[in-house]
Structure 1
Amino acid sequence: MLDDISLFVHIVRSGGLAAAAVELGLPAATVTRRLQKLEHVLGCRLIHRSARKFSLTSEGEAYFEAYAELVQQFDATTRAMSAELHQISGKLTVLAPTNVSVGILQPMWSAFVRRHPQIRLDLRLGNKLQDIYDGQVDLALRIGPQQDSQLFQIRLGVVSTIVVASREYLAEHGTPDRLSDLSAHRIIAVNGLPRWSMRNKRDGSTEAMRLEATTQVDDIGLARQLARDGLGIALLPASEMVDDLESGRFCRILADWQGPDREAFAIWPTGRLLSARAKCLRDFMQAHIGRMPVLQGQVPVCGEPRSQENQIDWHRL
């Protein structure tokens, strides 16, 4: 019924049914039919039908006076919201994990801000998923699939988790040759990866391990630093250790085995239209994460720097 009220107001402002039909791009018969439908619902005539003169009935005058301003406000709000959705400018609130954002993806954020200075990026680091449901976040980068059917998700990449230790630790404690050897070593565990579900990449066999951790932390960055300091063996995402692996500070051990893959997703609530700026960032992340080998499941080779073609010049983006 709201559409028919709006149509009536447009008819009055246009000065007739034919003029309103042209202005709205509708067939004249459709305009007439919808006006008649509204009059039938109201139980009264709103417009005098005359080939010589367009005029409102007393009921039509009262109806126009009651709704004209509301329809104008509705149209203005609709136009403003449409412009807001389609313009690549304005505020964009994004939720992303701390470690990956201040680490391997930090240059990506800089490149996005440089490419789109008209977008005011509000990057919130953390994992407060409730912010998405509350409508406080336009788009989120999340690690691990989201099981909630209220969320749309697009897969951006995948990170391998591998077993590593520093050269100093291995020199002092020896290098394990089998998974069973790990029970004799100092283990640094991350709360997000308490159980080591290992998969052999050669034969596909799996083994679930519950190791007694010497040290347990709830932050991957801290676990990496503890392992870097020679305090134990850790199962960590390869994306958190690119420089350490390439420089030789970390050695990958039990190379035939790796932990669960950690998939990265862009997510947003179902039923919400993504603004043009949110789509812009989503596509930007998809393109550039897709160009990073370590975020597509590859593992850097220990002591072997990246080849020139695998180094992204973010400043040129």
Structure 2
Amino acid sequence: MIDNLVELTIFDKVASAGSLTGAANELGLSLAVVSKRLATLEARMGVRLLNRTTRRQSMTQEGERFHLHCVRILAEVQQAEAVMQHSRTDINGHLRVTAPRMLGTRYLAALAAQFQAMHPALRIELVLSDDVVDLVEQGIDLALRFGVLDDSTMTARHIADSELVLCAAPDYLRRFGSPDTPAALSAHNCILYGTRGTRHWLFQHEGKPVSAEVNATFLCNDGNAAKALALAGGGIFLKSIWDVGSELRDGRLVRVLGRYSTPSAPLHVVYPHALHLAPRVRHFADYALKSLRGEWELLTDKASARDRSPN
């Protein structure tokens, strides 16, 4: 196809210049190359496009008709290249982003609105799901994901190691007290949910792993419902700092067992490839990375400052 375009360009230049020599000079090619390419084009078309002698040339009827098509085709190719050049620098088009529901509702929606306000020609589609979405199959440009990534073909940029936080409402702690060790959790009301609905919670203390069996007073399949139960004084639960950071900051939840560290899950910005990345994907990834790192620093600093647990 590229060779065809070269031959069409040569024929167009021959037609406009009025001679093979003139076309060769304009294109910076030798006369022999121009003559050979033109002969190849005529052979493929099966018709003579030019009548030429040593003194002059003229287009045949077939050549004139073909030249009209060549002009249109070459103009469309130039327009397509201009559009692609434009798209390499401008932030526009349709951007599809996926994230877990909590993260999408609490953080992604706001930063997407901010980013689109800066780039009005951009349309953003949010695909919120707690399932791992196949980015290529679903036509997703970018994802926010927790945990270790299994697919090495993806490009992943680390945002933060987001810890899980054990916490409860002040009202619950006033009524039942605060556990002083993980083993004491068995005597407390605990809230289990989703895939973390295990009856054992894991901790680290002084470099050693500690496993605690918990009393599952409440079981639910939704993280938001689990947090609502905790805020209502239903018990102690384990949740990502991303989901409870603001409640820890304003005192509606209080961290417990602060001397014991809990597992962390890295958060990444993920996209299928990095080569020839569209500006809308690259710039949104940069914006999300910067914004979410700032949120994480705010959450972790202020949550730690408001940790009122004596443990």
* Residue 215 (structure 1) aligned to one of 213, 218, 229: 218
1:5 aligns with 2:9: no
| Offset of residue 237 of structure 1 | 0.9
Distance in 2 separating the partners of 1:277 and 1:80: 15
Unmatched 5+ stretches in structure 1: 305-317
Which position in structure 2 is the counterpart of 1:314?
none
* Cα distance in 2 for residues equivalent to 1:49 and 1:250: 90
2:87 corresponds to: 84
Shift of the 184–280 alpha-carbon distance from structure 1 to 2, 3 Å rule, reads: same
In the TM superposition, what is the alpha-carbon distance from 1:251 to its structure 2 partner? 1.3
Among candidates 67, 92, 97, match of residue 94 of structure 1: 97
Q: Is the 8 A contact 1:166 1:249 kept in 2?
A: yes
Give the Cα separation in 1 of the matches to 2:36 and 2:164: 65
| Contact kept in structure 2, 1:197 and 1:260, CA below 8 Å | no
Q: Match of 2:191, SS?
A: strand
- Asked if structure 2 preserves the Cα contact closer than 8 Å seen for 1:151 and 1:268, the reply is yes
Query: What CA distance in whole angstroms lies between the structure 1 residues aligned with 2:129 and 2:52?
Result: 64
Q: Which amino acid aligns with 1:132?
A: L
Q: Does the CA-based 8 Å contact 2:96-2:141 persist in structure 1?
A: yes
**What is aligned with 1:186?**
189
In the other structure, the counterpart of 2:168 is 165
Match of 1:140 among 139, 143, 164: 143
Q: What is the deviation of 1:178?
A: 1.0
CA 1:110–1:72: 2 relative to 1, 3 Å: closer
User: Are the equivalent residues in 1 in contact too, given 2:145–2:269 (CA < 8 A)?
Assistant: yes
Closer, same or farther: CA 86–22 of 1 in aligned 2, 3 Å? farther
| Bigger CA radius of gyration | 2
State the Cα deviation string for residues 27-77 of structure 1 (Å, max 9, x = none). 63699399669949x799998998865678999999989987666655544
Q: Provide TM-score, normalisation by structure 1.
A: 0.74
Give 3-state SS (helix, strand or coil) of 1:244's partner. helix
Q: Deviations over 1:213-267 (max 9, x none)?
A: 3323333222111111111111111121222112222111111223322222222
Taking the aligned partners of 2:305 and 2:263, their CA distance within structure 1 comes to 20
Q: 2:282 aligns with which of 279, 284, 296?
A: 279
Residue 32 of structure 1 is matched in structure 2 by 33
- Of 110, 114, 122, which residue of structure 1 is paired with 2:117? 114
Q: Tell me by how many angstroms 1:302 deviates.
A: 5.7
User: Counterpart amino acid of 1:235?
Assistant: L
Change in CA separation of 1:169 and 1:140 when aligned onto 2, cut-off 3 Å: same
Does the 8 A contact of 2:97 with 2:142 survive in 1? yes
Q: Which amino acid aligns with 1:92?
A: L
Instruction: Identify the range of structure 1 (103-112 vs 225-234) with the bigger mean alpha-carbon deviation.
Output: 103-112
Question: What RMSD, in angstroms, separates the aligned Cα atoms of the two structures?
Answer: 4.0
Any stretches of 5+ residues in structure 2 without a counterpart? Answer: 15-19
* 1:278–1:47 CA distance, 2 compared to 1 (3 A): farther
Count the aligned residue pairs.
Answer: 298
| Matching residue within 151, 154, 163 for 2:154 | 151
- Alpha-carbon distance in 2 for matches of 1:67, 1:129: 49
Percent identity between the aligned chains?
23
Once residues 23 and 131 of structure 2 are traced to their aligned partners in structure 1, the CA distance between those partners, rounded to angstroms, is 53
Deviation of 1:197 after TM superposition, in Å, equals 5.8
Contact 2:24–2:34 (Cα < 8 Å) also in 1: no
